[in-house]
């Protein structure tokens, strides 16, 4: 059976998730399965469910930084502990640029992009 590649998007604002959904479908069509969560906790549940299925592969997780409860960089660190070779992208409109530089320079493997993002820049991060 063929492996199913998943992109998991996490943001506490539904409008952002809707925008990501539209852009992902426009750029990648049915090449991926798309999952959406409105909190870090919900995202971790989705990821655990996907990991339980041997035919599911978590390809990339895109997360907002500022959310109630767990922040996006903390979520992405948890994801990287659970899932090998996953791409992680942090979206933010509320973070100090020095924090982003620290995240990108660290060995955490998290790519950062500012809201509002450039669609092609985000899609390039997903493809690379």
**pLDDT at residue 95, as a whole number:** 65
| Surface-to-core class of residue 57, CB atoms within 10 Å of its CB (0-12 exposed, 13-18 middle, 19+ buried) | middle
**pLDDT at residue 109, as a whole number:** 82
Q: Is residue 126 part of a domain?
A: no
Rounded to two decimals, the pTM is 0.92
Q: Which of 68, 88, 85, 64 is nearest to 77 (CA)?
A: 88
**β partners of residue 61:** 8, 88
Cβ-defined contacts of 81-85 (< 8 Å, 24+):
82/47, 82/48, 82/51, 83/47, 83/51, 83/58
Structure tokens at 30: 């049915």
Q: Is residue 18 part of a domain?
A: yes
pLDDT tens profile 19-54: 999 999 999 999 999 999 999 999 999 999 999 999
Instruction: Give dist(CA 103, CA 112) in Å, integer.
Output: 8
Q: Is residue 127 part of a domain?
A: no
**pLDDT at residue 93, as a whole number:** 82
The answer to whether 35 and 50 are in contact (CB under 8 A) is yes
Q: Is residue 73 part of a domain?
A: yes
Instruction: Give dist(CA 42, CA 113) in Å, integer.
Output: 22
**β partners of residue 91:** 64, 113
CATH label of the domain that carries residue 68: 3.40.50.2300
Domain count, the chain: 1
Range of the domain at 110: 4-120
Q: Is residue 128 part of a domain?
A: no
pLDDT tens profile 50-102: 999 999 999 999 999 999 999 999 999 999 999 999 999 999 887 666 766 77
């Amino acid at each position: 059976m063929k492996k199913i590649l998943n992109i998991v998007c996490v943001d506490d604002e539904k409008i952002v998730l809707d925008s990501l959904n539209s852009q992902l479908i426009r750029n990648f069509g049915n090449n991926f399965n798309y999952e959406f969560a409105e909190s870090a906790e919900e995202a971790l549940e989705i990821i655990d469910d996907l990991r339980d299925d041997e035919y599911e592969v978590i390809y990339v997780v895109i997360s907002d930084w500022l959310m109630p409860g767990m922040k996006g960089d903390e979520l992405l660190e948890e994801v990287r502990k659970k899932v090998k070779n996953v791409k992680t992208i942090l979206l933010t409109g509320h973070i100090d640029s020095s924090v982003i530089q620290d995240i990108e320079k660290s060995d955490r493997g998290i790519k950062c992009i500012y809201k509002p993002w450039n669609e092609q820049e985000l899609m390039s991060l997903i493809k690379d």
